[in-house]
Amino acid sequence: GEQVEQRPPHLSVREGDSAVITCTYTDPNSYYFFWYKQEPGASLQLLMKVFSSTEINEGQGFTVLLNKKDKRLSLNLTAAHPGDSAAYFCAVSAGFASALTFGSGTKVIPCLP
Amino acid sequence: DMKVTQMPRYLIKRMGENVLLECGQDMSHETMYWYRQDPGLGLQLIYISYDVDSNSEGDIPKGYRVSRKKREHFSLILDSAKTNQTSVYFCASSLSPAANTEVFFGKGTRLTVV
């Protein structure tokens, strides 16, 4: 079955700096890709979903890049701020009736510049 | 207000006891899920339910069973809990099983088996 590897497990980033979280997956039939944010003690909130190959999606304070050729999904936090302190999870699905397979998570800790 | 509600939020049980985790959603979603979250492992799928009495095993079903008698409720049952079932359990729901539909998560139940 699908396997998703997420790196790094922990990330300290200075306020104002950027940081990248990367997921690689194994199933070439994977078609739907998601990033979730989980603040301490809270549930998972959908950050962004990506469906197209080599797509860059921009959100508020982050960008997402999907490279289907390399089977790689990345989340780039731009200009980190205290509100970014959370665990981030990528999730991948192969298609209809296929539940999400999650990466192991990255704990992001913004620190003072 | 769309939400997935889990009860209880915290639970401590002795090894060998039965455990019932409840989940409800108010969105009339067809599909519901139970995941467990362990440090360094992300979320692992235990069971998925496509509708009332239509349940399928996920990746780690051993030691668990589920019940869905109403569309809005999905229960996770541990018969004779084990210490390695100490974890945070998340219930989730989505409008359909289609992988491009948004999945909504509850706040989790932290279960400790001693």
| Rg of chain B on CA atoms, in Å | 13
Torsion angle of C-alpha atoms A43, A49, A53, A59, degrees rounded to 10:
-110
Per residue in A63-97, pLDDT (tens digit) is: 888 988 899 999 999 888 888 999 999 999 876 66
**Sequence-separated (6 or more) residues with CB below 8 Å from residue B62:** none
Residue A111 CA to residue A81 CA, distance in Å, equals: 8
A110 band by pLDDT with thresholds 50, 70 and 90? confident
- Cα A14 to Cα A22, A74, B10: the distances in Å are 19, 19, 34
A8 touching chain B per CB within 8 A: no
Q: Give the three-state DSSP class for A84.
A: helix
A95 touching chain B per CB within 8 A: yes
**Sequence-separated (6 or more) residues with CB below 8 Å from residue A83:** none
Answer whether A95 sits within 8 Å of B58, measured CB to CB.
no
Comparing A99 with B66, the larger pLDDT belongs to B66
Answer whether B50 sits within 8 Å of A46, measured CB to CB.
no
